[in-house]
């Protein structure tokens, strides 16, 4: 199917999932994940309304940043501390803060740039060794430490659920994430404005939205299978 057809199908499913969770479609951000996708295809999606783009790698943001004006970038992949300096003036939201060390580096670079960075704390809810993210039992303590950094604003949580051909199997992780989100929100920490729960991808975004996600990260569902040979 074409990008336009893919987006129409996703919009219908998002609308239905939002209704099941007592919300409107407009309450959910569809983040188009453009990793490995070439600029012409990304521009097609932008013209069709995808104004917020997610990338896993700093290098891809830097390569595409000037070629695709009028959009907002999100860094959704693992971020090394030595790459922070390249993106603090380019991204709207960093989804993948999973350590105090990384938070401190972001804060330091934002101090130099005279700005504040919105972040999400990444939680490895399923405990997968191959995935980044703070352990669920350590997430509250990390948020408390990060909230002491004046150049950061904690906007919520993010998780990458396991790939499962049966999306329903991930509901348990999404429920736990929503519970953790609500508990941290109730602490009313400084420099914290818990608005966003970033969870759900092409395979399981409907279940994620039903359980409270307000940002879903969809790549192959929009652009088709990725070409990792490039």
| Whole-angstrom distance, CA of residue 186 vs CA of residue 179 | 11
Q: State residue 193's pLDDT score.
A: 98
- The pair of three-digit structure tokens given for residue 102, joined into one six-digit string: 């990384």
| Whole-angstrom distance, CA of residue 20 vs CA of residue 33 | 25
| Whole-angstrom distance, CA of residue 75 vs CA of residue 61 | 8
Q: What percent of the chain has pLDDT over 90?
A: 97
3-state secondary structure the chain: CCHHHHHHHHHHHHHHHHHHCCCCHHHCEEEEECCCCCHHHHHHHHHCCCCEEEECCHHHHHHHCCCCCCCEEEECCCCCHHHHHHCCCCEEEEEEECCHHHHHHHHHHHHHHCCCEEEEEEECCCCCCCCCCECHHHHHHHHHHHCCCCCEEEEEEECCCCCCCCHHHHHHHHHHHHHHHHHHHHCCCCCEEEEEEECCCCCCHHHHHHCCCCEEEECHHHHCCCCCCC
The arithmetic mean of pLDDT across residues 124-150, rounded, is 97
Q: Is residue 229 part of a domain?
A: no
The arithmetic mean of pLDDT across residues 36-65, rounded, is 97
Q: Is residue 230 part of a domain?
A: no
Q: Is residue 228 part of a domain?
A: no
- The pair of three-digit structure tokens given for residue 84, joined into one six-digit string: 């922070």
Q: State residue 79's pLDDT score.
A: 97
Nearest to 164 by CA among 136, 195, 204: 204
Q: Is residue 188 part of a domain?
A: yes
Q: Is residue 57 part of a domain?
A: yes
The partner residues of 125 in beta bridges, in order of sequence, read: none
Q: What are phi and psi of 24, to 5 degrees?
A: -100, 160
Q: Is residue 85 part of a domain?
A: yes
| Whole-angstrom distance, CA of residue 184 vs CA of residue 139 | 9
Q: State residue 165's pLDDT score.
A: 94
Q: State residue 229's pLDDT score.
A: 59
| Number of structural domains in the chain | 1
Q: Is residue 208 part of a domain?
A: yes
| Tokens 């987006």, located at residue | 7
Q: For residue range 186-200, what is the model confidence (pLDDT) as tens digits?
A: 999 999 999 999 999
**Domain range enclosing 118:** 3-223
pLDDT band at 228 (very low <50, low <70, confident <90, very high): low
Q: Is residue 91 part of a domain?
A: yes
Q: What is the CATH number of the domain that holds 127?
A: 3.20.20.10
Q: State residue 120's pLDDT score.
A: 98
HSE, side-chain direction, 13 A CA sphere, residue 71: 28
């Amino acid at each position: 199917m074409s990008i336009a057809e893919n987006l129409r199908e996703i919009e219908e499913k998002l609308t239905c999932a939002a209704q099941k969770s007592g919300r409107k479609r407009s309450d959910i951000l569809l983040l188009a994940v453009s990793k490995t996708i070439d600029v012409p295809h990304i521009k097609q999606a932008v013209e069709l309304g995808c104004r917020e783009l997610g990338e896993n790698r700093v290098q891809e943001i830097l390569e595409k940043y000037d070629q695709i004006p009028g959009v907002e970038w999100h860094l959704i992949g693992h971020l090394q501390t030595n790459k922070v300096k390249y993106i603090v003036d380019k991204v709207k939201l960093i989804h993948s803060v999973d350590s105090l060390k990384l938070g401190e580096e972001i804060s330091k670079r934002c101090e130099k740039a005279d700005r504040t960075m919105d972040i999400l704390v990444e939680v490895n809810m399923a405990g997968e060794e191959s995935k980044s993210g703070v352990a669920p039992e350590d997430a509250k303590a990390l948020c408390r430490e990060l909230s002491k950094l004046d150049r950061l604003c904690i906007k919520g949580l993010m998780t990458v659920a396991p790939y499962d051909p049966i999306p329903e199997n991930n509901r348990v992780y999404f429920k736990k994430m929503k519970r953790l989100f609500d508990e941290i929100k109730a602490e009313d920490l400084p420099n914290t404005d818990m608005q966003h729960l970033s969870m759900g991808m092409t395979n399981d975004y409907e279940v994620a939205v039903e359980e409270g996600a307000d940002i879903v990260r969809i790549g192959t569902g929009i652009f088709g299978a990725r070409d990792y040979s490039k």
